Chains A and B, each alone.
Chain A
Amino acid sequence: MGVDGIGARVARKEDRRFLTGKGRYTDDMSVPGMKYAVFVRSPHAHATIAGIDATAARAMPGVIDVLDGRQLLADGIGNLICGWMIHSKDGSPMKMGAWRPLADKTVRYVGDAVAIVVADSVAEARDAAEAVVVDYDPLPAVTDPVQALADGQPQLHPEASNNLVFDWELGDGAAVDRALAAAAHVTELKIFNNRLSPNPMEPRATLGIYDAGDEHYTCYTTSQNPHLARLVMSAFYNVAPENKLRVIAPDVGGGFGSKIYIYPEEIVCLWASKRTGVPVKWTSDRTEAFLTDAHGRDHVSTVKMAFDAGNRITALKVDTIANLGAYMSLFSSCVPTYLYATLLSGQYDIPAIHANVRTVYTNTVPVDAYRGAGRPEATYLLERTMETAARELGLSPAELRRTNFIRSFPHQTPVIMNYDAGDYEASLNAAMAAADWNGFAARKAEAEGRGMKRGIGMSCYIEACGLAPSAAVGSLGAGVGLWESAEVKVNMVGTIEVMTGSHSHGQGHETTFAQLVADRLGLPIDSINIVHGDTDKVQMGMGTYGSRSGAVGMSAVAKALDKVEAKAKKIAAHLMEADESDIVIEDGVLKVAGTDKSVPWFQMALAAYTAHNLPPGLEPGLKESAFYDPANFTFPAGCYICEVEVDPETGRTKVVQFVAADDFGNIINPMIVEGQVHGGIAQGIGQALLEGVRYDDSGQLLTASYLDYAMPRADDLPSFVVSTSNTPCPNNPLGVKGCGEAGAIGSPPALINAITDAIGNNQLTMPATAEKVWAAAQAAN
């Protein structure tokens, strides 16, 4: 390993521009003639539109134009779609209701876009947006998913009776029922997984530029996957042909899933740019972000877990209702199905599992993937159930888990997944040692002396990431392949540019991807540039989500590097009159093994381009591309232990210690991996303690700003104790598994298990606000 190679704690190459205010985010973009957009949005959760009158608004100072959904429809712009087909257990396809980028007949959630105002300034656009008169006929609304399924409730889409999008199942229900009937013990629990708003700190923004000369469109946007945005906007929304649409996702200030999707605003700003003849920029404010960014989670489940007399799990039965909001967002259907139910085996050897999932329309913003996407819901359900079972069975939480761990690999679960490698006991042991589990009783007694209730809780999570083998996801309904592509270009003087379809919006790819190249070629990291986020520069890509950039994106780079190295060796062998099989690449030099003959990397590169002395038949140049399609998912896993102190007088919970022991496979940059875990844990603690989207019964969003939606702050959190004990992933060239989501997946149950341990009451829902904990603690007394 070189100083900048794989495994080194390399300080990030991208940091300097962010630290000096030179980051370039979408809202920082400015082009000549650019104008500003504000959207007119529905104040009603459910209403029909009788008419829109923009006459007064059009006459206001600075206004270029006001455009609405009828014009959008007339111009042939298509509906927003969900890209993953799920069939109900009766074989019928999911019921996808029409989602217009600008609603023309019906609005279905507060914030649904109705019209766009383009003006000289944001302030003038907002002034005019208030003057657009929309004649709404309000309809009754429903926001609760359980209620929405009942008879006689408001119906959102004609296709979906009782608002049911699909009723899907996985696993062998009959086998589960037999095991439940024969069980020595059954643990039953009702589980709520609270609805969250992703809240990347950079609000969404887009700049649409239509060039009438070339009939070409450019879209700057806050996207995790610009190529996917281009695909969807051209193939489905009819905005522009793919070859006439350039999508650029420059610096992006966090995503956490919410910037995977293509939202109405990108489509409408591009279209509006053509209609008005000016570049159109829109930047969300925070309230708009709460109203319109896809939310996450929002499950209601019942669970039954069966045990035999030896405390071994014999079956798991899960029934889940998942709220999808008013429309089906791009990947909304796969989150509560193939990213959720397939992980219900957790780290445990469970012979029979059955999950039934019903997804529901409600008059709320669409729900889609948020950090972890389905896997946090599965982990929370399973690990709350394990903790509850341990308490009911009178076992220590660690003992019950050890009894049921999967110990040999590969392991085929009853819910599709085939785990390739892992050592769950190693993580458990590491976490318990780091948390000083055995010293807890003394700490609890000490806290009691101060009038505080101390509790400890654990969570053993597994997730499937490295999304994903294309044929496998295709067979499950995915509308796209989930490969990644990369291109490695060696410049004439030997410096390197890597074009990758992965997108970095905080993950540090400009450093880690360069570390891979530095490691392979022994070149200084500063001679390597990572290029991403621009469909004109990067050949193809599927983007960043599902902890896939290392396992899939870097594997594509590795594959392209294989080709570059092979050709470089041919050229060097020819220059040195050696056999190419004898050439080795070390420290930026191509050497003939066992001799003192060598050619520096830059000289080989120059030779590739001067082409004066190449092997016969070899093309000049040195630039190779590759597509990598993973052979399997990867399976990061680990054990998290949380210790809390609850103030019984106020119910306030303080997280006093949080330990994470993860298995991420091989590690490229430990510093960056730790950062990912820290951030994930903070989001998990946020879900467990603070965050929760709330709508009132009429569909008004109550948590529409940071005054009402509690974001984790520095003083809500402790410093974290993180470590890894790694089993390399056998299914990709780098042996990496992925680390981006683990923290958010593993932490919520550890926290709730700790609080319920502290207060002696297992009845507690997330977010465990001070009032809820106070009330639960009172009830336990």
Chain B
Amino acid sequence: MYQTNYHRAASIQEAVQMMGAATEGKYLSGGMTLIPTMRLRLAAPSDLVDLRRIAELKGIAVDGRSVRIGAATTHEEVATSSALRAICPSICGLAGHIGDPAVRHMGTIGGSIANNDPAADYPAAMLALDAVIVTDRREIKAAAFFTGLFETALEEGEIITAVRFDAPAKAAYQKFPNPASRYAMAGVFVARRDNGDVRVGVTGAGSSGVFRHPGLEAALSANWSPDAVANVTVDASDLLTDLHASAAYRANLVRVMTKRAVAAA
């Protein structure tokens, strides 16, 4: 790891000030991606501003079917929230399968979304749930938030404070893990609204990051059943080929994971 300067913020305001004073700073939430990346000397922020102890970034609020999850809420807290489980168990299930228990104790929803790793789980859910990403400056629709591999709409120094969404009528997440890293090789979050509107968020498979799949959405809007997926073509040309899987295989996995998510929802 290269030299860096650590700062611990007690409030959002203090965090913004600390970041403003840094030459090339980075916010540090759970650090479960950032610290290993820095260990490998693949990132070299001059300063780290630790958000983990800011009280206003924490907590899960459920009001009817509307949900607000503070950005510094850990995966473990999301996975085990009984209030959340009562109306949106799919997000608990997703959180409970991110990384391993020790990672879930540190990693946060805000950190995951801000990093936008192309194989991270939360971004697929944010798209499918039509979530709003709340920052210290504004609110951003998920569809506009995730802009590319590790790229988001966040501006310099902007902090995610929470995510908001309405619990759908039905939803589920299924992923096929990479056998080595256990990140999603293809992960699909399906969500259906009472009005029949369906969104399908896909992670791990896209060559330019998380995406929605219109063909699957159309098929499932017309017929919400696992069988509806069978005849949908998933175009492999937009998908990733790497050491672990070809685009053609990922296309198959996207279809199969969608089918299984619908069955599980």
Contact = CB atoms under 8 A, between A and B. Distances in A.
Interface of A: 123, 126-127, 130, 287, 649-650, 652, 690, 694, 702-703, 706-711, 716, 769-771, 774-775
B225 interface: no
Contact of A707 (B1, B181, B246): B181
A45 B45 CA distance: 31
A707 B243 CA distance: 11
B252 A774 contact: yes
B253 A706 contact: no
B246 A771 contact: yes
Given A690-B179, A707-B181, A649 B249 contact: no
B249 A771 contact: yes
B181 A650 contact: no
A771 B245 contact: yes
Interface in B65-86: none
B204 to A, nearest CB: 13
Contacts of B256: 649-650
Given A707-B181, A709-B180, A702 B2 contact: no
A220 to B, nearest CB: 25
28 contacts: A126-B41, A127-B2, A130-B41, A287-B40, A649-B252, A649-B256, A650-B252, A650-B256, A652-B176, A690-B179, A702-B243, A703-B180, A703-B243, A707-B180, A707-B181, A707-B183, A708-B180, A708-B243, A708-B244, A709-B180, A711-B180, A716-B179, A769-B179, A770-B249, A771-B244, A771-B245, A771-B246, A774-B252
A710 B177 CA distance: 11
B180 A650 contact: no
Contacts of B244: 708, 769, 771
A649 B244 CA distance: 17
A706 B181 contact: yes
Given A703-B243, A771-B245, A650 B253 contact: yes
Nearest first, the 6 A-B pairs at minimum CB distance are: A710-B180, A710-B179, A707-B181, A771-B249, A649-B256, A708-B180
Contacts of A287: 40
Contacts, number: 45
A708 B249 contact: no
B1 A123 contact: yes
B260 to A, nearest CB: 9
Given A694-B243, A703-B243, A774 B180 contact: no
Contacts of A702: 243
Given A650-B252, A709-B180, 9 more contacts: A649-B252, A690-B179, A690-B180, A707-B181, A708-B243, A708-B244, A710-B178, A769-B179, A771-B249
Interface string B29-69: 00000000000110000000000000000000000000000
A123 B176 CA distance: 37
B113 to A, nearest CB: 21
Interface residues of B, number: 18
Given A127-B2, A650-B253, A702-B243, A770 B181 contact: no
A589 to B, nearest CB: 53
A707 B242 CA distance: 13
A310 B243 CA distance: 46
Contacts of A774: 249, 252
Contact of A650 (B2, B40, B41, B176): B176
Q: Among A650, A774, A775, find the residue whose CB has the most chain B CB atoms closer than 10 A.
A: A650
Interface in B1-32: 1-2
A690 B176 CA distance: 15
A717 to B, nearest CB: 13
A421 to B, nearest CB: 40
Q: Among A649, A652, A690, A775, find the residue whose CB has the most chain B CB atoms closer than 10 A.
A: A649
A755 B157 CA distance: 53
B252 A706 contact: no
A707 B253 CA distance: 20
Contacts of B245: 771
Contacts of B41: 126, 130
Interface string B162-181: 00000000000000101111
Nearest to B252: A774
Nearest to B185: A770
A775 B243 CA distance: 16
Interface of B: 1-2, 40-41, 176, 178-181, 183, 243-246, 249, 252-253, 256
A85 to B, nearest CB: 38
A60 to B, nearest CB: 12
Contacts of B180: 690, 703, 706-711
Contacts of B243: 694, 702-703, 708
A634 to B, nearest CB: 36
Contacts of A709: 180
Nearest to B183: A707
Given A703-B243, A771-B249, A708 B181 contact: yes
Nearest to B249: A771
A461 B51 CA distance: 57
Contacts of A707: 180-181, 183
Nearest to A130: B41
Contacts of A127: 2
Nearest to B1: A123
Contacts of A711: 180
A690 B41 CA distance: 28
Nearest to A690: B179
Contacts of A649: 252, 256
Contact of A770 (B40, B179, B183): B179
B251 to A, nearest CB: 12
A541 B180 CA distance: 38
Contacts of B40: 287
Contacts of B246: 771
Q: Among A287, A770, A775, find the residue whose CB has the most chain B CB atoms closer than 10 A.
A: A770
B183 to A, nearest CB: 8
A127 B245 CA distance: 35
A672 to B, nearest CB: 29
Contacts of B176: 650, 652, 770
Nearest to B179: A710
A318 B226 CA distance: 50
A38 to B, nearest CB: 12
A716 B182 CA distance: 12
B55 to A, nearest CB: 33
A769 B249 CA distance: 12
A122 to B, nearest CB: 10
A44 B98 CA distance: 36
Nearest to B260: A649
A281 B245 CA distance: 40
A574 B176 CA distance: 76
A644 to B, nearest CB: 15
A192 B256 CA distance: 30
B171 to A, nearest CB: 21
Nearest to B245: A771
Contacts of A775: 249
Q: Among B2, B179, B180, B252, find the residue whose CB has the most chain A CB atoms closer than 10 A.
A: B179
Nearest to A287: B40
A694 B244 CA distance: 11
Nearest to B243: A702
Nearest to A708: B180
Contacts of A650: 176, 252-253, 256
Nearest to A769: B179
A127 B4 CA distance: 13
Nearest to A711: B180
A153 to B, nearest CB: 24
A201 to B, nearest CB: 16
B63 to A, nearest CB: 37
Contacts of A769: 179, 244
A711 B180 CA distance: 6
A133 B170 CA distance: 59
Q: Among A126, A287, A708, A769, find the residue whose CB has the most chain B CB atoms closer than 10 A.
A: A708
A706 B253 CA distance: 23
Contacts of B1: 123
Nearest to A652: B176
